[in-house]
Structure 1
Amino acid sequence: MRVSVIIPSLNAPTLSRALNAVLAQSQPADEIIVVGRDEAGALAACPTARFIDTGAPVCAARARNLGMAAATGDLFLLLDADCIPRPDWLAQHAGRQAAGERVVGGAVALQGSNYWAQSDNVSMFHEFVPQHPPGPRFLLPTLNLSVRREVFERAGGLDESFPGAAAEDADWTIRIRRAGYRLYFEPAAMVAHAPARTTRHDVARHWRNLGHNAIRVRLRYADEFGTPRGARRAGWWRALSPLIAARITAGIYADRALWPHWRSLPVVYWTKLLYCLGAARAIDSGFATQP
């Protein structure tokens, strides 16, 4: 099986680290494709990588679609530029795919460069920690995801109308599941996520934007998410935001695997509040109900 690793990057400072980790895999990739911008010249250290220069910044969905459309492999292995894969990462994905899966998401180690980055990871990726067992999942994130070419051809690419990098992976993996494919989590296929969100301001902006984009997915697939009818009103989100944030935070920390990260609890609660306010803003603007 020919494997294409696809990395979207907008001048990511961690790109060289990610590329070095891909090159050091116990099972080598047949092809490495980087899509986006590389004004710092990080790709000079990886002459074997194929670079698709978009000329201007594009959203993550567009970059991934371009990479998959250009790839020559049978298996597309999507990796974000701020993710550092473990040496057996590719082999773990390929092994699970060889066992019959067609869509495999890997685990995310929750360490961060500082308190804000780690807390952001806890809030964002608590469902995909390596301590959780393998098995089917409702959604999978695209920062560490392998899909067969046939999946891309049958389900189509990611929705490029989502700005930035938020919620388009939830939308895509729901459409993949609806196309008849199982979404499988393999914790042994692990990456360390090193986000650039290292300040309070960075984290706040990320979670407002995530709420703004994700509510559109929750309304688009209301039956699958069990989205309450009141969630179509901005006032509902604003009024209930403290209760929603408390309930979600309590659910996260009910998982014993998250107990080592108890110091992040205040930030996790705060990010869920911001998510609710971002959802309200999207409803006010009409973005949440776009098809």
Structure 2
Amino acid sequence: MIPPLASYAVVVPTIGRPCLADCLTALAVSEGPEPSRIVLVDDRPEPGGDELPLGALGPLADRAVVLRSGGRGPAAARNTGIRVVDEPWTVLLDDDVRVSAYWREQLARDLAEASPDTGGVQGVLEVPLPTGRRPTDWERNTAGLRDALWATADMAYRTEALKAVGGFDERFPRAFREDADLALRVIDAGWRIRRGERRTEHPVRPADRWVSVRVQRGNADDALMARLHGPTWWERASAPRGRIRRHAAVTSAGLGALVLAAAGRRRAAALTAAGWLLGTAEFARARIAPGPRTADEILTMILTSAVIPAVATWHRLSGAVRHRGAGCWDGTL
């Protein structure tokens, strides 16, 4: 028997990717109590693009509302949606997930079992990986969502809790760390967050060879997290610290080799360049070993491993400078 459930709204930010139709179809055909409303937030920078596939919602289409957030990123887009929600619960979904066939029923149980001091209930994310071969570096990266805390790919919050903390911090411009920042502020405000039972599939999206280089922009967001929550935020969020210290050391070796060579100190430059090469080789090996070890994957790991340390270090330093005076988020919903 499905327990009684206070009404809920679903908020989905999107940039109009084709996967949105699959997300909405899965939500529409799932068994269980229907959402009171579905808020789609179109975050494309300019209006006039393809219409969002509201028809994929079937009988739920009349409950949908479309808002625009002007291309300001997923945090601002979610805030745009949350502002129009007056239901007790706000359920956040990403546009590239597919809820399970009984997700709405499982959601009802998750929320009905929430204690009065529970401000959020996290869904269980499943990342399908290929069978018959080891996953690629990008596939392993996406699979990390299985164990991540508070991922907004499927996260339900009491609307009261969201509005009490001012929603998402819009200084996080991409889908990275904005979820952890929000959750830590909700917890600091006295709420609990627990993991529920509902299940949602998060497929691995297609990506090109250089995707692992582009995601290094998130190092700037790590700098903002450290500024807002202190150096122990990693432990509080159970987030992996990554390799930023090693990346900084490898980058320093590379820069040092160039400076020494320019100064005519060939022996010192060669020794320092050897340090850069060894550090880069170790990084590439660590990424190649657990993967499928195809020729294309090995080439991708070698090329990107040579670039990532410098890119990651740059973004971390630029983020530290950019956010050096950042204070608590004072946005309102």
Q: Which residue of 2 aligns with 1:287?
A: 322
* Structure 2: segments with no counterpart, 5+ residues: 1-5, 236-240, 252-278, 327-333
Name the structure 2 match of 1:143.
153
Q: 2:126 aligns with which of 109, 126, 142?
A: 109
**Other-structure match for 2:35:** 29
d(CA) in 2 for partners of 1:176, 1:55: 24
Distance change >3 Å, CA 222–CA 110, structure 1 → 2: same
Letter in 1 for 2:316: A
Computed over aligned residues only, the root mean square deviation of the Cα atoms, in angstroms, reads 3.5
Shift of 1:263: 3.3
Aligned equivalent of 2:167: 157
In 2, the alpha carbon distance for the partners of 1:144 and 1:167 equals: 15
- Equivalent AA in structure 2 for residue 73 of structure 1: E
TM-score (norm 1): 0.75
Seen in structure 2, the aligned counterparts of structure 1 residues 8 and 195 have a Cα distance that, compared at 3 Å, is farther
Aligned to 1:182: 192
Residue type of the alignment partner of 1:118 = E
Distance 2:310 2:127 in 1: 23
| Conservation of the 8 A alpha-carbon contact between 1:210 and 1:275 | no
> Which range is displaced more, 102-111 or 50-59?
50-59
For residues 233 and 310 of structure 2, what CA distance do their matches in structure 1 show? 16
Structure 1 consecutive aligned stretches of length 4 or more whose deviation exceeds 6 Å: 240-243, 264-268
Q: Which amino acid letter does the alignment assign opposite residue 66 of structure 1?
A: T
Greater gyration radius: 2
- 142, 145, 148: which one pairs with 1:121? 142
Contact 1:116–1:200 (8 Å) recurs in 2: no
Q: Map Cα deviations across residues 67-102 of structure 1 (whole Å, 9 max, x no partner).
A: 111123111010000111112223323312211233
| 1-structure distance, mates of 2:109, 2:234 | 34
- Kept after mapping to 2: 8 A contact 1:17/1:84: yes
Aligned to 2:209: 200
Q: Secondary structure at the match of 2:171?
A: coil
Separation (CA, whole Å) in 2 of partners of 1:157 and 1:170: 12
Please say if 1:4 is aligned against 2:9. Answer: yes
Deviations 1:31-63 (A, max 9, x none): 111001583333241332433332632210111
2:20 matched residue in structure 1: 15
Contact 1:25 1:87 in 2 (8 A): yes
Q: Is 1:220 equivalent to 2:254 in the alignment? A: no
- Provide the aligned length of Structure 1 versus Structure 2: 259
Q: For 1:14-93, what aligned pairs fall within 5 Å after superposition?
A: 14-27=19-32, 28-37=34-43, 39-45=49-55, 46=57, 47-54=61-68, 56-93=70-107
Q: Work out whether residues 137 and 291 of structure 2, in 8 Å CA contact, stay in contact via their aligned partners in 1.
A: no
Q: Are positions 1:278 and 2:320 aligned together?
A: no
Partner Cα distance (2:87, 2:203) in 1: 27
**TM-fit CA distance, 1:274:** 4.2
Alignment check: 8 A CA contact 1:4 1:71 kept: yes
Residue aligned with 1:289, SS:
coil
Q: Which amino acid aligns with 1:225?
A: W
Deviation by residue 1:152-181 (Cα, 9 ceiling, x = unmatched): 122221001111222111111110110111
Cα deviation per residue 1:98-126 (whole Å; 9 max; x = unaligned)? 1123301112112258846522312x414
Counterparts of 1:220 and 1:12 in 2: how far apart (Å)?
Answer: 32
Provide the secondary structure at the position in 2 that maps to 1:212.
Answer: helix
Distance 2:308 2:186 in 1: 29
User: Unaligned 5+ residue runs, structure 1?
Assistant: 129-138, 251-261
C-alpha change, 1:159 and 1:55, in structure 2 (3 Å) is closer
Please state whether the residue corresponding to 2:62 is helix, strand or coil. Answer: coil
1:212, 1:275 within 8 Å by CA — same for their partners in 2?
Answer: no
Offset, 1:288 = 4.5
Q: Secondary structure at the match of 2:210?
A: helix
Inter-CA distance 142–226: structure 2 relative to 1 (3 Å threshold):
closer
Alignment check: 8 A CA contact 2:26 2:100 kept:
yes
1:102 alignment partner, SS class: strand
Contact 1:208 1:277 in 2 (8 A): yes
Identical aligned residues as a percent: 18
Change in Cα spacing, 1:48 to 1:209, as seen in structure 2 (3 Å) is farther
**Aligned residue for 1:263?**
291
On the 8 A contact 2:10/2:35 being kept in 1, the answer is: yes
